[in-house]
Amino acid sequence: MTQSVFAPWNDPKAKPLIQFRNVTKRFGDFTAIDNLTQDIFEQEFFALLGPSGCGKTTMMRMLAGFETPTEGQILIAGEDMSNVPPNKRAVNMMFQSYALFPHLSVWENIAFGLKREGKDKESIAARVDEMLRLTRLSKFAQRKPHQISGGQRQRVALARSLAKAPKLLLLDEPLGALDKKLRQDTQFELMDIQEKTGTTFVIVTHDQEEAMTVASRVAVMDEGRIIQVATPDVIYEAPNSVYVADFIGDVNLIKGRAEKRAAAPADTTAQPVETPQPPATPAAQVSTQPVDGPQPNEIGEWLQNKLLFPILGKRDPQPKRLPPPAPNTDSRPAKPAPKAEIQPGGLELHWAEGQPPIIASNGDPDLAGQTLTLALRPEKMSISKEKPTAPNVLRGAVIDIAYLGNLSTYHVQLDNGPMVKVQMTNIRRIARRDITWEDVVWVSFSETSGVVLKG
Ligand SMILES: Nc1ncnc2c1ncn2[C@@H]1O[C@H](COP(=O)(O)OP(=O)(O)OP(=O)(O)O)[C@@H](O)[C@H]1O
Ligand SMILES: [Mg+2]
C-alpha cells in the first residue's frame, strides 16, 4: 500500500476519539463485555472481528448510547458519555438488523434523517441523489422496501447512515447481504468516503478479508475481551496467540515440545553463517594439477621436436584446461541450494515420533521445555515430489487437492503427524501439474516461516 503512515495509536500525544475505560457490561449474571479498555482514533477504520456472541454489537450499542456500561466509562472526544443520550452523540449507527421505514420509499428513507435536521429541500435532494448513486440505488428510488431485494435493502440502510455525514459511524455487518463483487466495490467506496470526509468508522464484520481490506486496525475479540489489536498485517503475520492465528485466515497448528537451539557464537553474529572461501585462481589451479592429460606418442614427440619446436618453442606438458567458472556474484541462492543455511538460535519443536524436529529460529528460547504450537500459513510452505533442500522438510502423503483456479491447496497427511494444508500458486496448466492424490511428497518451509505460540 502506498498510504502514508497513519498510526496515531503509536503517537503518545495523539488524543483518542473513543476511549473505553475498564468497561464491563453484564446482562443479569452474564458478562457480555469484560473489563475492556481500548482507544480508537479519529479517522480510523476500526474493525471488530470475533465469533458470534463475543460482544461486538454490545460494544457498538454502548458507543451509540443504546446500552449503558455496568462498570467503567466511555469517552467520545474526551467527554464522558454516561449521561449523554443517543441523539445527542455525534454518532450514527447502522444496525445489524437495519429497520427501514416500510411505508416510505427508498428515497424518503435516505432523506429521513436529513429532514429531521431541518436541512433545506435542495441540499437534501442533492445529498440523497449522491447517496443513491454511491450505493447504486438510483433506479429504485421510488420503490418501497418490500419491493427491493435483501441486498438492496442493506444498501438503503447504508445510504441512510452515510447521508448525515456523521463524524463517527458504527457499521454492524453493513455489507453482509451483498454479493462478493458489490461488497468489494462498497468496501472501496467506504474507504473513499472516509478519505474524503474524515469519518471515523467502527465496523463489525464476519468477513476477515473485508476486515483486512478496509481496516486501519483489527480487534480480534473472544468472550467479551479483545485478544489482540493491531494492523491487519501484524494480525496475520504476528498473531499473539493460537486463538488469533486460528481465527484469521487458514493456518496449520503443529504442537510440539520445545527445545532450545544453539545461539550464534557471540563474535560472529554480524557475519554470514558460513564464510565463503575465495575462489581458486586459474593459475593456482593449473600449477597444482598433476599431469594427467593425454600425452604425445612417439610420432607426436618427433613432430614436436623436429617440426614445431623451431616455430612454437618448447612444448608445454600441461594439458589445456578450461578456467574454473567465475565466482557467483548473484545474491540469490543457487538452485538447487547445495546446503540449507539455517539461522542459529530460537527453538526446535519435537512434534512427532521418528520425525526430525521442526526448526524455528524465531522462537523465543525462554519458552524451551514447554509444549508450544507452531502456526504456519499454508502459503508459506512448499510441496514437491523430490526431497528438497530446506531448513524444514517433512514427509507426507497427499490426501486431497482443492483446485481454486489461481491456487491449489494440498491436504497432506504428515508421517506420524497431523494433516497440513499447503498452498501453491498454479503457474502451470492443470494437466501438467505432477502432484496427485496419494503421492508421497515433501513439505518444506524455512526456519522463520512459522510463529511459535504458547499453548
Ligand atoms: N439484551 C440482552 N440480554 C441478555 N443477553 C444479551 C443481550 N444482548 C446481548 N446479550 C448477550 O451478550 C452476548 C454478546 O452479544 P452481542 O450481540 O454483542 O454479540 P455479537 O458479537 O454481536 O454476535 P453476532 O456476531 O452473533 O452478532 C451474547 O451472548 C448475547 O446473547
Ligand atoms: Mg452482533
Determine which residue's CA is closest to atom 18 belonging to ligand 1: 55
Determine which residue's CA is closest to atom 14 belonging to ligand 1: 55
**Could you tell me the distance, in angstroms and rounded to a whole number, from the CA of residue 97 to the centre of ligand 2?**
9
Give 358's strand partners: 349
Q: Residues 218, 239: one domain?
A: yes
- CATH at 360: 2.40.50.140
pLDDT number for residue 369: 96
DSSP for 130-199 reads HHHHHTT-GGGTTS-GGGS-HHHHHHHHHHHHHHT--SEEEEESTTTTS-HHHHHHHHHHHHHHHHHH--
pLDDT averaged per 10 residues in sequence order, the chain, 455 residues: 76 95 98 98 95 95 96 97 92 81 96 91 95 90 93 88 88 84 82 82 90 93 97 95 94 96 65 46 42 63 70 62 52 52 93 94 95 96 93 96 89 95 81 78 96 94
Residue 57 near ligand 1, beta carbon < 6 Å? yes
pLDDT number for residue 404: 85
315 part of a folded domain? no
- CATH at 97: 3.40.50.300
Residue 27 near ligand 1, beta carbon < 6 Å? yes
pLDDT number for residue 17: 96
293 part of a folded domain? no
Q: Residues 94, 183: one domain?
A: yes
Domain boundary among 227, 250, 273: 250
Contacts of 157 (CB under 8 A, 6+ apart): 94, 95, 98, 100, 174
**Position 237, amino acid:** E
Predicted TM-score of the model (pTM): 0.78
**Could you tell me the distance, in angstroms and rounded to a whole number, from the CA of residue 33 to the centre of ligand 1?**
10
278 phi, psi to nearest 5 deg: -65, 140
- 109 alpha carbon, distance to own chain's centre: 38
pLDDT number for residue 406: 85
421: containing domain: 254-262+341-454
As to burial, measured by CB atoms within 10 angstroms (0-12 exposed, 13-18 middle, 19+ buried), residue 404 is exposed
How many domains would you assign to the chain? 2
Q: Which helix (H) or strand (E) holds 22?
A: strand 18-27
391 part of a folded domain? yes
135 part of a folded domain? yes
336 part of a folded domain? no
Domain boundary among 197, 229, 250: 250
Q: What angle do CA 91, 19, 199 make, to 5 degrees?
A: 40
Q: Residues 215, 258: one domain?
A: no
Contact predicate 40/46, CB 8 Å: yes
As to burial, measured by CB atoms within 10 angstroms (0-12 exposed, 13-18 middle, 19+ buried), residue 169 is buried
pLDDT number for residue 297: 73
Determine which residue's CA is closest to atom 1 belonging to ligand 1: 27
Pull the grid cell for residue 337: 541450494
Q: Residues 146, 246: one domain?
A: yes
pLDDT number for residue 276: 45
Contact predicate 72/35, CB 8 Å: yes
| Ligand 1 atom with minimal separation from the 33 CA | 14
Domain boundary among 250, 282, 311: 250
Contact predicate 395/334, CB 8 Å: no
202 part of a folded domain? yes
Q: Give the C-alpha separation, 454 to 451, whole Å.
A: 10
Q: How many CB atoms are closer than 10 A to CB 90?
A: 13
Q: Residues 450, 417: one domain?
A: yes
Q: Residues 232, 258: one domain?
A: no
Helix orientation angle between 106-116 and 150-163, rounded to the nearest 10 degrees: 20
Residue 52 near ligand 1, beta carbon < 6 Å? yes
Give 75's strand partners: 19, 80
Q: Residues 417, 440: one domain?
A: yes
172 part of a folded domain? yes
